Amino acid sequence: MLPQEIVRKKRDRQPLTPDEIAAFVAGLTDGSFSEGQVAALGMAIFLNGMERDEAVALTLAMRDSGTVLDWSDMPGPVTDKHSTGGVGDNVSLMLAPIVATCGAYVPMISGRGLGHTGGTLDKMDAIPGYTSQPDKALFRKVVREVGCAIIGQTADLAPADKRFYAIRDVTGTVESIPLITASILSKKLAAGLQSLVLDVKAGNGAFMATKKSASGLAQSLVEVANGAGLPTTALMTDMNQPLASAAGNAVEVANAVDFLTGRARDRRLEVTLALAAEMLLAAGIASTHRQADSLAGNALSSGRAADVFGRMVSALGGPADFVDKYETYLPQAPVIRPVKSGKSGFVTAIASRDIGIAVVALGGGRTKPEDVIDHAVGITALAPVGTDIAKGDALAIVHAPNEADADQAEAAVHAAYTLGEGRPRMPRPVIRRIALSS
């Protein structure tokens, strides 16, 4: 099948057949579709959408473009979580060890940064020595012995999606519901999971800015995943402000360790424990929400989850004492500067996407697939919505490679923050649960 004819058909709002979708995925995998043709079809899908059967066919074809893992020999249930992405969303770093502590096995295959959102894999790459793309033997060994492993796609796991993912990132087609659905689920299906929980973000820092669009994505993911044989539920969570108080790579790793060890508690707690409980229910480890909440909370408060995180880092090549001495291992930016408020007031709104873009501009994200990440840069101590700020107080701290970039990031932070006279209403971080019958 000619690539241009497949592009033309979708351009003209006609549904693609399974054979045409299979031809496209084969072209993605072997390179016979050029980058321009892939980008054109991505834009045609972005503009015209896909029917549910098309999305299922695309998901399954991308799953089958490489190896499909088998965890049937694991002595417990195999489960995972995926977030659609947001600013300061480092929940995966805490969630995987919490759920593993409770007896599940979590082979978490994560992605790199996409658009203005950070990528879990880029965060883990900030840890010196950490092998974020191990061979399958090491991956299986760490999952079995530690309970979880956070890694990136190997070359043989959904290779069609890996190429499509990189092209979407730089061609303005990130927000397409069927493409997000197929991209997320092809990797999760290829990972051989027995259950999956999705964290679908809604708000000004998410790809889906409104609750309506986020709900549509969550419903698509749940329906396509279950249609492909993977039991899946979703939680919609708020992304109208950065989730953590840090945005970047090394700075988010440090922030996650502080959370696991009890040195930091914020609105992530509700999101993290809600997702953990959902995973424990899906895996069959807990039979009620109360039991699941208790198991997850105890795993975190006891310090056992922090221990699992440390053992995972060590097993994948990182420092054995990373949890205790992360400050000595993580890279630090040359310029660290507080962003001082020019007036007093309550933080009433944060343009979260602009914070994410500022991190990308510092070098903490990509504008081209081949860009090299600066893991040290980012923004920390982000004052959350509702903070009472006095003139001269810090809204955030910028970590930059040089003074000029620090100036730009400081201006971006000032522009992203809105201060007002009255304390704003604080929305709950977890908005809604979506299951197949929703």
Choose the catalytic residue: 59, 101, 120, 245: 120
Amino acid at 120: T
Residue where the block lists tokens 């507080």: 338
Choose the catalytic residue: 63, 112, 123, 187: 187
Choose the catalytic residue: 10, 63, 81, 311: 81
Q: Phi and psi of 237, rounded to 5°? A: -130, 155
83 is catalytic: yes
81 is catalytic: yes
Q: Phi and psi of 394, rounded to 5°? A: -80, 130
Choose the catalytic residue: 29, 59, 65, 83: 83
187 is catalytic: yes
Candidates 327, 315, 338, 345; CA nearest to 395 is 338
- Calculate ∠ Cα 257-403-348, nearest 5°: 60
Q: Phi and psi of 233, rounded to 5°? A: -130, 170
141 is catalytic: no
80 is catalytic: yes
CA 435 and chain centroid, separation: 20
183 is catalytic: yes
368 is catalytic: no
Return d(Cα 90, Cα 269) in angstroms, integer.
12
Return d(Cα 236, Cα 202) in angstroms, integer.
7
144 is catalytic: no
Pairing status of strand 378-380 against strand 394-400: antiparallel
Choose the catalytic residue: 10, 63, 112, 188: 188
Choose the catalytic residue: 101, 110, 132, 183: 183
391 is catalytic: no
Amino acid at 188: K
Choose the catalytic residue: 10, 63, 112, 168: 168
Choose the catalytic residue: 10, 63, 82, 311: 82
Choose the catalytic residue: 29, 65, 80, 233: 80
Amino acid at 360: V
Q: Residues with catalytic annotation?
A: 80-83, 120, 168, 183, 187-188
